[in-house]
Structure 1
Amino acid sequence: MTSNIQRKVFQNPPIPIHSTRDVCHYSRADFYDFDMERGKITDYHRQRNLLVGEDFIVSLLKGLEHEVGEAAGWLCYQIGYEWGKEDAVLFQSWFQEFYGLTLETSNLGFAMETWWWPYTAQGWGAWSPNLSNRDSGFFYVDLYDSAVAKSLGYMGKPVCHLYAGILAGFFSIAFEQNLCSTEIQCYAMGNEFCRFLLGSEERIQVAEFWIASGANANEIAERFEAGEMELEPQSSVAAGVV
Protein backbone atom coordinates (compact mmCIF):
# COMPACT_ATOMS: atom_id res chain seq x y z
CA MET A 1 0.00 0.00 0.00
CA THR A 2 1.28 3.45 -0.86
CA SER A 3 1.85 5.71 2.14
CA ASN A 4 -0.18 8.90 2.42
CA ILE A 5 2.61 10.58 4.35
CA GLN A 6 5.81 11.55 2.57
CA ARG A 7 8.42 10.89 5.19
CA LYS A 8 10.46 13.92 6.11
CA VAL A 9 14.06 12.98 6.79
CA PHE A 10 15.47 14.04 10.16
CA GLN A 11 19.18 13.59 10.73
CA ASN A 12 21.37 13.42 13.78
CA PRO A 13 22.56 16.86 14.90
CA PRO A 14 25.69 17.91 12.97
CA ILE A 15 26.47 20.60 15.55
CA PRO A 16 26.85 20.37 19.33
CA ILE A 17 23.87 21.53 21.38
CA HIS A 18 24.00 23.94 24.27
CA SER A 19 24.04 22.61 27.81
CA THR A 20 20.60 21.29 28.71
CA ARG A 21 21.12 22.61 32.24
CA ASP A 22 20.48 26.10 30.87
CA VAL A 23 17.31 25.30 28.91
CA CYS A 24 15.45 22.45 30.66
CA HIS A 25 13.41 24.37 33.21
CA TYR A 26 11.39 21.68 34.89
CA SER A 27 10.94 23.31 38.30
CA ARG A 28 8.05 25.68 38.87
CA ALA A 29 10.34 28.44 40.12
CA ASP A 30 12.47 28.30 36.97
CA PHE A 31 9.74 27.77 34.38
CA TYR A 32 7.22 30.33 35.64
CA ASP A 33 7.46 34.01 36.48
CA PHE A 34 4.75 34.94 38.99
CA ASP A 35 4.08 38.68 38.88
CA MET A 36 1.87 39.04 41.93
CA GLU A 37 1.47 42.81 41.59
CA ARG A 38 0.02 42.57 38.08
CA GLY A 39 -1.66 39.21 38.62
CA LYS A 40 0.18 37.78 35.63
CA ILE A 41 1.96 34.47 35.11
CA THR A 42 4.37 34.05 32.22
CA ASP A 43 6.44 31.00 31.35
CA TYR A 44 10.02 30.76 30.17
CA HIS A 45 8.92 31.23 26.55
CA ARG A 46 7.26 34.55 27.42
CA GLN A 47 3.75 33.16 27.01
CA ARG A 48 1.02 34.17 29.43
CA ASN A 49 -0.50 31.36 31.52
CA LEU A 50 -3.70 31.00 33.53
CA LEU A 51 -4.21 28.78 36.55
CA VAL A 52 -7.59 27.05 36.29
CA GLY A 53 -9.23 24.11 38.02
CA GLU A 54 -11.37 21.22 36.87
CA ASP A 55 -14.55 23.25 37.35
CA PHE A 56 -13.35 25.75 34.75
CA ILE A 57 -12.63 23.03 32.18
CA VAL A 58 -15.97 21.30 32.76
CA SER A 59 -17.89 24.59 32.61
CA LEU A 60 -16.11 25.63 29.41
CA LEU A 61 -16.90 22.38 27.63
CA LYS A 62 -20.47 22.24 28.90
CA GLY A 63 -20.94 25.85 27.83
CA LEU A 64 -19.78 25.03 24.31
CA GLU A 65 -22.15 22.07 24.16
CA HIS A 66 -25.00 24.32 25.27
CA GLU A 67 -24.22 26.87 22.54
CA VAL A 68 -23.38 24.65 19.56
CA GLY A 69 -24.60 21.18 20.55
CA GLU A 70 -22.86 18.24 18.91
CA ALA A 71 -20.54 20.61 17.05
CA ALA A 72 -18.71 21.34 20.32
CA GLY A 73 -16.20 18.56 19.69
CA TRP A 74 -15.52 19.78 16.16
CA LEU A 75 -15.08 23.34 17.45
CA CYS A 76 -12.59 22.21 20.11
CA TYR A 77 -10.68 20.32 17.43
CA GLN A 78 -10.48 23.39 15.19
CA ILE A 79 -9.31 25.55 18.10
CA GLY A 80 -6.67 22.98 18.94
CA TYR A 81 -5.61 22.68 15.30
CA GLU A 82 -4.91 26.40 14.97
CA TRP A 83 -3.21 26.37 18.37
CA GLY A 84 -0.99 23.46 17.32
CA LYS A 85 0.05 25.13 14.07
CA GLU A 86 1.01 28.36 15.80
CA ASP A 87 2.82 26.46 18.54
CA ALA A 88 4.83 24.54 15.94
CA VAL A 89 6.11 27.81 14.50
CA LEU A 90 6.86 29.17 17.96
CA PHE A 91 8.59 25.94 18.99
CA GLN A 92 10.90 25.96 15.99
CA SER A 93 11.89 29.50 16.93
CA TRP A 94 12.82 28.81 20.56
CA PHE A 95 14.27 25.39 19.71
CA GLN A 96 16.71 27.17 17.41
CA GLU A 97 17.34 29.91 19.99
CA PHE A 98 17.98 27.64 22.98
CA TYR A 99 19.61 24.61 21.35
CA GLY A 100 20.98 25.88 18.05
CA LEU A 101 19.00 23.14 16.30
CA THR A 102 16.16 22.76 13.84
CA LEU A 103 13.78 19.86 13.27
CA GLU A 104 15.91 18.87 10.29
CA THR A 105 19.20 18.84 12.21
CA SER A 106 18.00 17.49 15.55
CA ASN A 107 17.34 13.94 16.64
CA LEU A 108 13.58 13.61 16.14
CA GLY A 109 12.89 12.00 19.51
CA PHE A 110 14.80 14.73 21.33
CA ALA A 111 12.92 17.44 19.42
CA MET A 112 9.52 15.92 20.16
CA GLU A 113 10.20 15.55 23.87
CA THR A 114 11.53 19.11 23.99
CA TRP A 115 8.33 20.40 22.40
CA TRP A 116 5.98 18.57 24.73
CA TRP A 117 7.62 18.94 28.15
CA PRO A 118 6.28 22.50 28.68
CA TYR A 119 2.77 21.05 28.23
CA THR A 120 3.53 18.53 30.96
CA ALA A 121 4.84 21.33 33.20
CA GLN A 122 1.60 23.25 32.60
CA GLY A 123 -0.58 20.30 33.61
CA TRP A 124 -1.66 18.98 30.21
CA GLY A 125 -0.32 15.50 30.90
CA ALA A 126 2.58 13.32 29.78
CA TRP A 127 2.79 11.78 26.33
CA SER A 128 4.42 8.92 24.46
CA PRO A 129 4.56 9.31 20.66
CA ASN A 130 4.95 6.15 18.57
CA LEU A 131 6.22 7.08 15.10
CA SER A 132 7.17 3.55 14.04
CA ASN A 133 4.35 3.33 11.47
CA ARG A 134 5.01 6.66 9.74
CA ASP A 135 6.25 4.90 6.61
CA SER A 136 2.85 3.19 6.39
CA GLY A 137 1.02 6.51 6.52
CA PHE A 138 -0.02 6.79 10.16
CA PHE A 139 1.30 6.98 13.72
CA TYR A 140 0.06 7.15 17.30
CA VAL A 141 0.39 9.38 20.34
CA ASP A 142 -0.48 8.12 23.82
CA LEU A 143 -1.51 10.71 26.41
CA TYR A 144 -1.47 10.17 30.16
CA ASP A 145 -3.47 12.29 32.62
CA SER A 146 -5.42 14.32 30.07
CA ALA A 147 -6.62 17.50 31.75
CA VAL A 148 -9.90 17.28 29.83
CA ALA A 149 -10.67 13.60 30.39
CA LYS A 150 -9.60 13.70 34.04
CA SER A 151 -11.87 16.69 34.65
CA LEU A 152 -14.93 15.23 32.92
CA GLY A 153 -14.60 11.72 34.31
CA TYR A 154 -16.34 8.76 32.69
CA MET A 155 -18.35 9.85 29.65
CA GLY A 156 -18.39 6.66 27.57
CA LYS A 157 -16.91 8.42 24.54
CA PRO A 158 -13.74 10.27 23.46
CA VAL A 159 -13.64 13.82 24.83
CA CYS A 160 -10.10 15.08 24.12
CA HIS A 161 -10.92 16.87 20.86
CA LEU A 162 -8.73 19.83 21.81
CA TYR A 163 -5.69 17.56 22.15
CA ALA A 164 -6.45 15.87 18.82
CA GLY A 165 -6.47 19.27 17.14
CA ILE A 166 -3.24 20.39 18.80
CA LEU A 167 -1.44 17.23 17.66
CA ALA A 168 -2.79 17.47 14.11
CA GLY A 169 -1.83 21.13 13.82
CA PHE A 170 1.64 20.71 15.26
CA PHE A 171 2.61 17.66 13.21
CA SER A 172 1.14 19.15 10.03
CA ILE A 173 3.67 21.98 10.33
CA ALA A 174 6.52 19.87 11.72
CA PHE A 175 6.24 17.16 9.04
CA GLU A 176 5.08 19.54 6.29
CA GLN A 177 2.02 17.38 5.62
CA ASN A 178 -1.72 17.94 5.90
CA LEU A 179 -2.44 15.61 8.81
CA CYS A 180 -5.62 14.92 10.74
CA SER A 181 -6.09 13.28 14.12
CA THR A 182 -8.74 11.39 16.05
CA GLU A 183 -8.87 9.89 19.52
CA ILE A 184 -9.31 6.12 19.30
CA GLN A 185 -9.30 5.45 23.04
CA CYS A 186 -9.88 7.79 25.96
CA TYR A 187 -9.61 7.89 29.73
CA ALA A 188 -13.21 9.11 29.70
CA MET A 189 -14.18 5.76 28.11
CA GLY A 190 -12.68 3.80 30.98
CA ASN A 191 -9.24 3.30 29.41
CA GLU A 192 -6.08 3.85 31.43
CA PHE A 193 -4.80 6.46 28.97
CA CYS A 194 -5.80 8.27 25.79
CA ARG A 195 -4.54 7.29 22.35
CA PHE A 196 -4.61 9.41 19.21
CA LEU A 197 -4.23 8.29 15.61
CA LEU A 198 -2.67 10.70 13.12
CA GLY A 199 -2.70 10.33 9.35
CA SER A 200 -4.42 11.52 6.20
CA GLU A 201 -8.01 12.73 6.25
CA GLU A 202 -9.08 9.56 4.46
CA ARG A 203 -7.42 7.33 7.03
CA ILE A 204 -8.95 9.24 9.93
CA GLN A 205 -12.41 8.93 8.36
CA VAL A 206 -11.90 5.18 8.08
CA ALA A 207 -10.80 4.95 11.72
CA GLU A 208 -13.82 6.95 12.90
CA PHE A 209 -16.11 4.70 10.87
CA TRP A 210 -14.60 1.64 12.52
CA ILE A 211 -14.94 3.25 15.97
CA ALA A 212 -18.62 3.94 15.27
CA SER A 213 -18.95 0.28 14.26
CA GLY A 214 -17.58 -0.84 17.64
CA ALA A 215 -13.87 -1.37 16.94
CA ASN A 216 -11.40 -0.64 19.72
CA ALA A 217 -7.93 0.91 19.46
CA ASN A 218 -6.11 -2.42 19.18
CA GLU A 219 -8.44 -3.64 16.43
CA ILE A 220 -7.98 -0.41 14.49
CA ALA A 221 -4.20 -0.71 14.79
CA GLU A 222 -4.25 -4.32 13.60
CA ARG A 223 -6.40 -3.49 10.59
CA PHE A 224 -4.23 -0.56 9.52
CA GLU A 225 -1.03 -2.52 10.03
CA ALA A 226 -2.54 -5.24 7.83
CA GLY A 227 -3.02 -2.63 5.10
CA GLU A 228 -6.80 -2.43 5.37
CA MET A 229 -8.48 0.82 4.34
CA GLU A 230 -12.17 -0.09 3.95
CA LEU A 231 -14.92 2.40 4.72
CA GLU A 232 -17.58 -0.26 4.34
CA PRO A 233 -17.43 -3.74 5.88
CA GLN A 234 -16.48 -6.39 3.37
CA SER A 235 -19.38 -8.53 2.23
CA SER A 236 -19.24 -12.18 3.14
CA VAL A 237 -19.50 -14.71 0.32
CA ALA A 238 -22.12 -16.46 2.43
CA ALA A 239 -24.20 -13.34 2.97
CA GLY A 240 -27.89 -14.05 2.61
CA VAL A 241 -27.47 -17.82 2.72
CA VAL A 242 -29.85 -19.50 5.15
Structure 2
Amino acid sequence: MNMENKILRGLMWTPESGRLSFREVRYLLIRPETVVAVQKAAEEALGERAGELFYAGGFAGGSLSSRRYKEAFGYSDRQIVDFMCRMGRQIGWGRFEVVELDDAAGRLVVDVYDSPFAEAYGPADHAVCHLIRGVLAGLASGLFQADVEAVESPCAAQGAARCHFAIQRKRSSTHA
Protein backbone atom coordinates (compact mmCIF):
# COMPACT_ATOMS: atom_id res chain seq x y z
CA MET A 1 0.00 0.00 0.00
CA ASN A 2 1.27 3.45 -0.92
CA MET A 3 1.49 5.38 2.35
CA GLU A 4 2.11 8.77 0.72
CA ASN A 5 -0.43 11.40 1.80
CA LYS A 6 -0.98 13.38 -1.40
CA ILE A 7 -3.57 15.60 0.23
CA LEU A 8 -1.19 16.83 2.94
CA ARG A 9 1.61 17.18 0.41
CA GLY A 10 -0.68 19.24 -1.82
CA LEU A 11 -1.94 21.61 0.89
CA MET A 12 -0.96 25.21 0.34
CA TRP A 13 -0.69 27.61 3.26
CA THR A 14 -0.81 31.35 2.70
CA PRO A 15 0.76 32.95 5.80
CA GLU A 16 -0.53 36.46 5.09
CA SER A 17 -4.19 35.42 5.11
CA GLY A 18 -4.02 32.23 7.14
CA ARG A 19 -5.58 30.32 4.22
CA LEU A 20 -5.07 26.56 3.89
CA SER A 21 -6.14 25.10 0.54
CA PHE A 22 -5.92 22.03 -1.65
CA ARG A 23 -6.25 22.60 -5.41
CA GLU A 24 -7.65 26.08 -4.71
CA VAL A 25 -10.35 24.74 -2.37
CA ARG A 26 -10.13 26.14 1.17
CA TYR A 27 -9.92 23.80 4.16
CA LEU A 28 -9.44 24.19 7.88
CA LEU A 29 -8.06 22.01 10.61
CA ILE A 30 -10.40 21.51 13.55
CA ARG A 31 -10.49 19.03 16.41
CA PRO A 32 -13.31 16.48 16.24
CA GLU A 33 -14.18 17.33 19.85
CA THR A 34 -15.05 20.86 18.71
CA VAL A 35 -17.41 19.56 16.03
CA VAL A 36 -18.97 17.08 18.45
CA ALA A 37 -19.46 19.75 21.13
CA VAL A 38 -21.42 21.83 18.60
CA GLN A 39 -23.34 18.71 17.56
CA LYS A 40 -24.27 17.83 21.14
CA ALA A 41 -25.35 21.42 21.86
CA ALA A 42 -27.52 21.35 18.73
CA GLU A 43 -29.00 18.00 19.80
CA GLU A 44 -29.80 19.47 23.21
CA ALA A 45 -31.63 22.38 21.59
CA LEU A 46 -33.16 20.67 18.55
CA GLY A 47 -33.34 16.96 19.29
CA GLU A 48 -33.07 14.61 16.32
CA ARG A 49 -33.30 17.52 13.85
CA ALA A 50 -29.73 18.46 14.79
CA GLY A 51 -28.39 15.47 12.88
CA GLU A 52 -30.04 16.74 9.71
CA LEU A 53 -28.22 20.07 10.07
CA PHE A 54 -24.85 18.30 10.20
CA TYR A 55 -25.97 16.05 7.34
CA ALA A 56 -26.81 19.15 5.25
CA GLY A 57 -23.37 20.62 5.91
CA GLY A 58 -21.69 17.37 4.93
CA PHE A 59 -23.90 17.09 1.84
CA ALA A 60 -22.84 20.55 0.66
CA GLY A 61 -19.16 19.75 1.18
CA GLY A 62 -19.38 16.33 -0.47
CA SER A 63 -21.27 17.67 -3.44
CA LEU A 64 -18.94 20.62 -4.01
CA SER A 65 -15.71 18.66 -3.47
CA SER A 66 -16.66 15.69 -5.62
CA ARG A 67 -17.81 17.92 -8.48
CA ARG A 68 -14.66 20.09 -8.26
CA TYR A 69 -12.20 17.21 -8.10
CA LYS A 70 -14.02 15.12 -10.72
CA GLU A 71 -13.63 18.04 -13.14
CA ALA A 72 -10.07 18.88 -12.06
CA PHE A 73 -8.78 15.33 -12.49
CA GLY A 74 -11.16 14.10 -15.22
CA TYR A 75 -12.23 11.18 -13.03
CA SER A 76 -14.86 8.55 -13.82
CA ASP A 77 -17.59 7.89 -11.25
CA ARG A 78 -15.60 5.04 -9.70
CA GLN A 79 -12.42 7.11 -9.65
CA ILE A 80 -14.07 10.05 -7.84
CA VAL A 81 -15.56 7.69 -5.24
CA ASP A 82 -12.14 6.15 -4.66
CA PHE A 83 -10.51 9.60 -4.55
CA MET A 84 -13.03 10.98 -2.05
CA CYS A 85 -12.59 7.91 0.16
CA ARG A 86 -8.79 8.23 0.02
CA MET A 87 -9.13 11.92 0.77
CA GLY A 88 -11.36 11.19 3.77
CA ARG A 89 -8.67 8.92 5.15
CA GLN A 90 -5.86 11.36 4.37
CA ILE A 91 -7.58 14.28 6.12
CA GLY A 92 -8.18 12.22 9.25
CA TRP A 93 -11.84 11.22 8.91
CA GLY A 94 -11.10 7.49 9.32
CA ARG A 95 -10.42 4.58 6.98
CA PHE A 96 -13.01 4.56 4.20
CA GLU A 97 -13.70 1.32 2.32
CA VAL A 98 -16.04 1.17 -0.66
CA VAL A 99 -18.26 -1.86 -0.19
CA GLU A 100 -20.48 -1.28 -3.23
CA LEU A 101 -20.92 1.20 -6.06
CA ASP A 102 -23.77 0.33 -8.41
CA ASP A 103 -24.48 3.20 -10.80
CA ALA A 104 -27.40 1.39 -12.45
CA ALA A 105 -29.13 0.74 -9.12
CA GLY A 106 -28.12 4.14 -7.72
CA ARG A 107 -26.43 2.64 -4.66
CA LEU A 108 -23.23 3.49 -2.79
CA VAL A 109 -22.18 1.62 0.36
CA VAL A 110 -19.10 2.66 2.35
CA ASP A 111 -17.68 1.43 5.65
CA VAL A 112 -15.64 3.85 7.76
CA TYR A 113 -13.32 2.52 10.43
CA ASP A 114 -12.02 4.72 13.25
CA SER A 115 -14.40 7.66 12.68
CA PRO A 116 -13.12 10.64 14.68
CA PHE A 117 -16.72 11.79 15.16
CA ALA A 118 -17.87 8.50 16.71
CA GLU A 119 -14.75 8.43 18.89
CA ALA A 120 -15.18 12.01 20.11
CA TYR A 121 -18.92 11.56 20.64
CA GLY A 122 -18.49 8.51 22.86
CA PRO A 123 -21.03 5.75 23.45
CA ALA A 124 -24.47 6.49 22.00
CA ASP A 125 -27.72 4.68 21.34
CA HIS A 126 -27.94 6.23 17.85
CA ALA A 127 -25.74 6.89 14.83
CA VAL A 128 -23.73 10.12 15.19
CA CYS A 129 -21.57 10.51 12.07
CA HIS A 130 -23.93 12.87 10.27
CA LEU A 131 -21.16 14.85 8.54
CA ILE A 132 -19.75 11.71 6.91
CA ARG A 133 -23.25 10.53 5.98
CA GLY A 134 -23.86 13.91 4.35
CA VAL A 135 -20.54 13.96 2.47
CA LEU A 136 -21.23 10.52 1.01
CA ALA A 137 -24.80 11.51 0.13
CA GLY A 138 -23.58 14.67 -1.62
CA LEU A 139 -21.08 12.58 -3.58
CA ALA A 140 -23.71 9.97 -4.52
CA SER A 141 -26.35 12.54 -5.45
CA GLY A 142 -23.98 14.05 -7.97
CA LEU A 143 -22.98 10.67 -9.39
CA PHE A 144 -26.55 9.43 -9.76
CA GLN A 145 -27.95 12.85 -10.73
CA ALA A 146 -30.76 12.18 -8.28
CA ASP A 147 -31.97 12.80 -4.77
CA VAL A 148 -30.72 10.14 -2.39
CA GLU A 149 -31.49 8.65 1.00
CA ALA A 150 -28.52 8.05 3.29
CA VAL A 151 -28.49 5.85 6.37
CA GLU A 152 -25.75 5.11 8.87
CA SER A 153 -26.34 1.79 10.60
CA PRO A 154 -24.55 0.72 12.61
CA CYS A 155 -22.27 3.44 13.97
CA ALA A 156 -19.08 2.86 15.93
CA ALA A 157 -20.54 5.07 18.68
CA GLN A 158 -23.14 2.32 19.13
CA GLY A 159 -20.36 -0.19 19.78
CA ALA A 160 -19.93 -1.47 16.21
CA ALA A 161 -16.51 -2.17 14.72
CA ARG A 162 -17.16 0.39 11.98
CA CYS A 163 -19.68 2.91 10.72
CA HIS A 164 -21.71 1.56 7.79
CA PHE A 165 -23.21 4.01 5.32
CA ALA A 166 -25.76 3.04 2.67
CA ILE A 167 -26.79 5.67 0.15
CA GLN A 168 -29.61 4.90 -2.27
CA ARG A 169 -31.18 6.88 -5.10
CA LYS A 170 -34.74 7.82 -4.17
CA ARG A 171 -37.41 6.07 -6.22
CA SER A 172 -39.11 9.28 -7.35
CA SER A 173 -36.32 11.82 -7.56
CA THR A 174 -36.79 15.48 -8.47
CA HIS A 175 -33.05 16.24 -8.54
CA ALA A 176 -32.23 19.45 -10.40
For normalisation by structure 1, the TM-score amounts to 0.61
Shift of 1:183: 0.4
Local SS of the residue matching 1:174: helix
Residue 59 (structure 2) aligns with: 81
Among 159, 173, 195, which residue is 2:164 paired with? 195
1:180 matched to 2:149:
yes
Q: Is the 8 A contact 2:61 2:135 kept in 1?
A: yes
Among 51, 73, 76, which residue is 1:103 paired with? 76
CA distance in 2, matches of 1:132, 1:32: 29
| 1:155–1:78 CA distance, 2 compared to 1 (3 A) | same
Q: Is the 8 A contact 1:103 1:174 kept in 2?
A: no
Among 65, 70, 88, which residue is 2:43 paired with? 65
Residue 26 (structure 1) aligns with: 6
Shift of 1:134: 6.1
Among 138, 143, 153, which residue is 2:122 paired with? 153
Q: Is the 8 A contact 2:94 2:115 kept in 1?
A: yes
1:127 matched to 2:96:
yes
Residue 41 (structure 1) aligns with: 20
Q: Is the 8 A contact 2:144 2:169 kept in 1?
A: no
Residue 223 (structure 1) aligns with: none
For normalisation by structure 2, the TM-score amounts to 0.81
Shift of 1:115: 2.7
* Residue identity matched to 1:103: S
Identity %: 26
CA deviation string 1:8-57 (max 9, x = no partner): xxxxxxxxxxxxxxxx85273x22223344333222x2222222223312
* Residue identity matched to 1:153: G
Q: Is the 8 A contact 2:127 2:155 kept in 1?
A: yes
| 1:34–1:158 CA distance, 2 compared to 1 (3 A) | same
CA distance in 1, matches of 2:121, 2:158: 11
Q: Is the 8 A contact 2:88 2:96 kept in 1?
A: no
CA RMSD of aligned residues (A): 2.4
CA distance in 1, matches of 2:90, 2:114: 12
* Residue identity matched to 1:157: H
Residue 174 (structure 2) aligns with: none
In our comparison, the structure showing a higher alpha carbon Rg is 1
* Residue identity matched to 2:126: K
Local SS of the residue matching 1:131: strand
Shift of 1:137: 5.9
Structure 2: segments with no counterpart, 5+ residues: 172-176
Shift of 1:186: 0.6
CA deviation string 1:130-170 (max 9, x = no partner): 22666666442101121211111211221012211211111
Among 87, 111, 127, which residue is 1:118 paired with? 87
Shift of 1:71: 0.8
| 1:58–1:178 CA distance, 2 compared to 1 (3 A) | closer
Structure 1: segments with no counterpart, 5+ residues: 1-23, 97-101, 203-242
* Residue identity matched to 1:149: A
